């Protein structure tokens, strides 16, 4: 046998893996982005939040900011004692909007634990301007 002792690969716990991969700060708010025609769609998995009180969406300087607060508590009353599991915290995601985004026309909806934000984008042909060259 060549080399040293064989070391089997093992899987790290999800939170440790996200930390080393640089994704630990976004673990509470997963985002999906795609274009639907001339609309940018941003979907966020936010189960257990009340969109009326726990979600804040702003658009400023070409950045869509989604901030959500999760307050969820699960209680188990057992013969041997009491157990409580909390999932709470504030999560923020910034999404850089493409050029031509119509920031004043952004809309959002919440259904079945998923927040969907829709950002209309101007037709690229509308934002193109011909520049005339003059001679001195």
The number of CA neighbours under 13 Å toward the Cβ of 114 is 9
Least confident of 74-88, 91-105, 113-127: 74-88
Whether 39 is covered by a domain: the verdict is yes
Least confident of 7-16, 71-80, 85-94, 97-106: 7-16
Whether 15 is covered by a domain: the verdict is no
| Contact (CB, 8 A) for 91 and 23 | no
Whether 135 is covered by a domain: the verdict is no
Whether 24 is covered by a domain: the verdict is no
CATH of the domain at 109: 2.60.40.790
Whether 17 is covered by a domain: the verdict is no
Whether 20 is covered by a domain: the verdict is no
Q: What is the DSSP string of 23-63?
A: -GGGTT--EEEEEETTEEEEEEE-TT--HHHHEEEEEETTE
Count of domains for the chain: 1
The C-alpha atoms of residue 40 and residue 49 are separated, in whole angstroms, by 23
Least confident of 45-54, 78-87, 100-109, 112-121: 78-87
pLDDT at 13 over 80: no
Which band of pLDDT confidence, cut at 50, 70 and 90, is reported for residue 22?
Answer: very low
Range of 109's domain? 33-120
């Amino acid at each position: 046998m060549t080399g040293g002792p064989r070391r089997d690969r093992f899987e790290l716990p999800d939170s440790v893996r996200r930390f080393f991969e640089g994704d630990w700060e976004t673990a509470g708010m997963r985002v999906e982005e795609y274009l639907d025609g001339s609309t940018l769609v941003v979907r966020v998995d936010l189960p257990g939040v009340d969109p009326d009180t726990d979600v804040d969406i702003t658009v400023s300087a070409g950045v869509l900011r989604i901030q959500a607060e999760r307050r969820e508590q699960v209680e188990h009353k057992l013969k041997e004692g009491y157990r409580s599991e909390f999932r709470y915290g504030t999560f923020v995601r910034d999404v850089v909007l493409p050029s031509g985004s119509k920031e004043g026309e952004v809309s959002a909806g919440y259904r079945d634990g998923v927040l969907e934000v829709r950002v209309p984008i101007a037709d690229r042909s509308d934002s193109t301007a011909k520049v005339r060259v003059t001679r001195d």
